[in-house]
Amino acid sequence: MVDASAIVATIASIAHFVILTYSVSPGIGQVFEVAAANAFTGLQAAGGVTEEVIVARAAGSVDRARSNSGLPNRVFSRSCKGKCGTSSPIPGLPCQCHNECVQAGNCCQDFNEHCHSCKNRCGNRFEARSSCQCNSRCHLTRDCCPDFNRVCSSIAGTRPTQRPVFTTTKRTTSIITDDELLTLSNTLLQLDERNPFATPLISLQGKTRSGSQEDLARQPLFGPQTASEAVVSGTSRLIKDLYDNYSPEVNNNEQVTQQHLNEEEAFFQAVLATEPMKRVVALLQSRGLLPTNNRNLESILRTLWFERFSRSRGSLGSSGFEHIFLGEVKNAEPSGFHSWLYFKHQEEAGSLDYLGFIRSAKLSGKASLLELPLKWKGMYKPVNSMFVGTSPELEMALYTLCFYARPEAKCPMNGNSVKFFIQTYPFKSRGKVYLGTAYPTFR
């Protein structure tokens, strides 16, 4: 048996090593926590010492390591305070504060408060290191921070918080109220009960937390395929034709063939013809947020969802559809991946490991909302969220609705008296606005 004092000494050595090695990094405290957690697991297994003993004996070592480092306490917290504006993630940490963490889905919980806010920034010129802006032109460039109108009321004036991304003619926009969003989302979820899927057989198993890589689920999330799931039609069939059309690495240029374009167009047109998308488009058109001309409408939505853009190194390796309905990889970290159909597809292929769930809620007879960590091709994502049991057209309709109705803000939704939100973020590139990400969330 390994003596507990030896364990504490080893953890102390790890702490000092990490502090010396990463003293220039704002995430030093979190790097230490990851290394120490691994040490806990390995040494506990080797020495048979209980976790309670390790934690109790190591507490003093942690405090001494922090004190001796000479670094401020804020460096060791799981907060974004004082850490905003970094251009890239720190590998291996449970949460991040860099500008692309939103699209990666791994921001610290207080990211919006400290890094995505106009507090003490009103009127500043364009800040390249910031994830959003607080100047008088941010409405025109669609990159205002979510609290711009409230915090910067003196310069926000009376500009509408909802602005069309098309500029062919002058239009007057009117606000879509929260009540309208709650009513429409519940109606669409009930309408989606007609989709071709049986209620998915899911096995939630162990409850976990963000940042934990412990596997609390011995079985897959999705059970054996039922007969009614095996034969699907419409968008559910067409979306599967797109699964092999994309490279997940955002650093790679997508190799687009005419067959790929034909398959995308077939799926796109099928979605436009569905009742959920028709109702959403009609509402957005009635408020001046989308054009009534069909050709202009299709061009805008096609660009929003399917046109390739660059998230890294100038490579045209991403699109809104790929990010949300499949998944992407940047710097060996997965991002996007918000479709249950693709989750199930990857699980059946043996490429995805379900670790347990963080939170779940039933939204209708078929639909659920699930928050969970995952490992995709060996890469860990601390927290992910997705609808389960819903059709592709419902998800695209709700994401499109919230992109225009509540850009860069929490968009209130309702399903079976369960209130949840959809968060969307635009991605600007080459003078165009794309759908950077969209996902459902409990908070």
Contact 375, 353 (CB under 8 A): yes
Alpha carbon distance 18, 125 (integer Å) = 37
Cβ neighbours, 10 Å, residue 405: 26
> Which residue is it, tokens 């991403």?
318
Decide: 57 and 10 in contact? Cβ < 8 Å.
Answer: no
User: Is residue 323 annotated as part of the catalytic site, yes or no?
Assistant: yes
Q: Residues 410, 442: contact at Cβ < 8 Å?
A: no
Q: What are phi and psi of 412, to 5 degrees?
A: -70, 135
Helix axes 4-21, 28-47, angle to 10 degrees: 150
Phi and psi of 312, rounded to 5°?
A: -160, 130
Backbone angles phi, psi at 398, to 5 degrees: -65, -40
Is 16 in the active site?
A: no
DSSP state of 241: G
Which tokens is 443 given?
């908070």
- Is beta strand 379-388 parallel, antiparallel or unpaired with respect to 352-354? unpaired
Of 116, 338, 344, 366, the active-site residue reads 338
For the chain, the first-to-last Cα distance in angstroms comes to: 45
Please enumerate in sequence order all residues whose Cβ is within 8 A of that of 441, keeping only pairs 6 or more positions apart, or say none: 371, 385, 410, 420, 421, 422, 423
One-letter identity of residue 431 = G
260 is catalytic: no
H or E, element range at 59? helix 51-69
Strands 410-415 and 379-388, sheet pairing: unpaired
Q: Are 220 and 205 in contact (CB under 8 A)?
A: no
Query: How many C-beta atoms lie closer than 10 Å to residue 34's C-beta?
Result: 18
Q: What residues form DSSP beta bridges with 202?
A: 222
C-alpha 133 chain-centroid distance: 20
Give CA angle at 34 (28, 36), nearest 5°. 100
Residue 173 in tokens: 């926009």
Catalytic residue among 83, 98, 116, 323: 323
| DSSP calls for 367-381 | -EEEEEEEEETTEEE
The residues that are catalytic are 323, 338, 381
